[in-house]
Structure 1
Amino acid sequence: MDPTSAAEARERVAKWIEETRQIFGLLPELIAGDHHAGAAAQKEVDKLHKDIEDLKRENHLLRLEKDEIAQAMGQIAAKLGITPRRSPFERSGPADQPRQPDHARPPESPRVAEQPKAADPAKP
């Protein structure tokens, strides 16, 4: 290696070292920002987990309440002598079928299509 290329190589290495020092100087700031963002995200995750647990507990209580109401409605229905349906949309027998009107209209006869009028020869 001649002295000129050796000097250029030393200069490049010195430049790389200086750039590396600058980059290493920036790393703590970047890492601190990421650490703060990570801590905020973890806090949000913990809050959401707590919300999930609260909602699960509320859902369980509401299901218990619904079951109690269904049982009470079943007892009332039994005293009245009717069988309760599990769904208001449930259909069980012919009594639940919609009635046909007594005076249903007879089907209309198909109409004969009108023939197109012949073109007037006097008009162009």
Structure 2
Amino acid sequence: MSNTENTQESQDSQESQDSREPRKTSRSTSRSNDNQTSRKRPSPMEVLRQARGQLAELTGMEAESVSSFEQTEEGWSLEVEVLELERVPDTMSLMASYQVELDPEGQLTGYKRVRRYERGRSDARRGGGR
């Protein structure tokens, strides 16, 4: 009879452990959901690093500088300067400006080249003068 009692006790013990496990899982799941909803927005520097890295990965060209950066209702908007074609002398290298859009978490959602120019050239003046 002692074997039967031990078997019953171990089954009861197993059932009580099983009934506790889902509670632990649901607590950890609710904690992870809380962490996701309370996840802080990335800092501007983190956004800049992510944008440069993601653009380089997609285009194969390294960003040389960021000429504009702003937070928008949809996330972030940047203009990134990229070396597209290296020439000698360096002032004749072809540069490009890319408009880069990111979501609020800093993930790239789109980009497009908005202008191309020689490194040594300045923008033409608009309005009066030459």
Q: Same fold (TM over 0.5)?
A: no
When Rg is computed on C-alpha atoms for both structures, the one with the higher figure is 1
TM range, normalised to the smaller chain? Answer: 0.3 to 0.5
User: More relative contact order in 1 or in 2 (CA 8 Å, sep 6+)?
Assistant: 2
Per residue, is there more helix in 1 or in 2?
Answer: 1
Per residue, is there more strand in 1 or in 2?
Answer: 2
